[in-house]
Every structure is written in C-alpha cells, then in structure tokens.
Amino acid sequence: MPYVTITASRGFSADQKKKLLQQSSDAVVQSIGAPLGSVRVMLNELPDGHYLNAGQFDTKALMFQVDFIAGRTEEQKSALVAALSRAGFQSTGVPEAEVRVRVVDYPSANMGMAGGVTAKQLGR
C-alpha cells in the first residue's frame, strides 16, 4: 500500500504526465517489492505562482511524497528515493538534482485500509 503523491509545476504534456505516473508506480514495485495492486499514485499540479525555489518563482517543480506502513529497511527506502528520482527525470526532463522525494512511515494503527479498518486490525 504505498501511496505516492506527486506535486509538479504546470507545463508537462499529457504524455509526460502519463509516463510520470506509470514510471513512478513501476519504481515503487521494483525498488521495494510492493505488489502492483497496492500502489496508488496521484498527481497534483501547482498553479502558476505557487512554487518558489531558491528565491525564483515558477521553476520546474517535481516532488514526491511516499506514505506507507512502517517496516521498510533503510536500503529499501534509499532504493525507492533513487528510483523515483530517475523516473521523474526520465519522464519529465527535470534534472535529478531538482527532484525531491520524501518517505513517510506510518504506524500500522494510523493507516486506513480497504473496508474502513486499519492496517493493524488486518494484522500488518
């Protein structure tokens, strides 16, 4: 159940966005071994004037936040960060030096699952 939220500036083509979503999903599956059926990826686009980077407005933004149940190793998290950075660059052309990835671990009691129960209630 990794949830990937991508925040990006406007200006990417429909094809770039589709590739970004697909490559991000693939990166999660390949880097941490998550089942494809449990991966959710969402893209939020920033309106013009809603991103400031190093004192400059409207530079290309590409930020990932990955929320999942605690328990992944440091190596898995590092592999995930690298894989998402690559996917971002390959799909949009934003240099990896400008791509940011945040990984957020949630206790199983704090993660809602299908059916309105927590991951802990499901034995995770």
pLDDT tens, residue order, the chain (124 aa): 799 999 999 999 999 999 999 999 999 999 999 999 999 999 999 998 999 899 999 888 899 999 999 999 999 999 999 999 999 999 999 999 999 999 999 998 988 888 888 888 888 8
Assign residue 27 the CATH number of its domain: 3.30.429.10
| Residue 51 is assigned to a structural domain of this protein | no
Split into its structural domains, the chain has a count of 1
Beta-carbon contacts of residue 53 (< 8 Å; ≥ 6 apart): 59, 61, 98
Are the CB atoms for 24 and 60 separated by under 8 Å?
A: no
| Residue 39 is assigned to a structural domain of this protein | no
**Domain extent for 89:** 11-32+59-124
| Residue 107 is assigned to a structural domain of this protein | yes
Confidence (pTM):
0.92
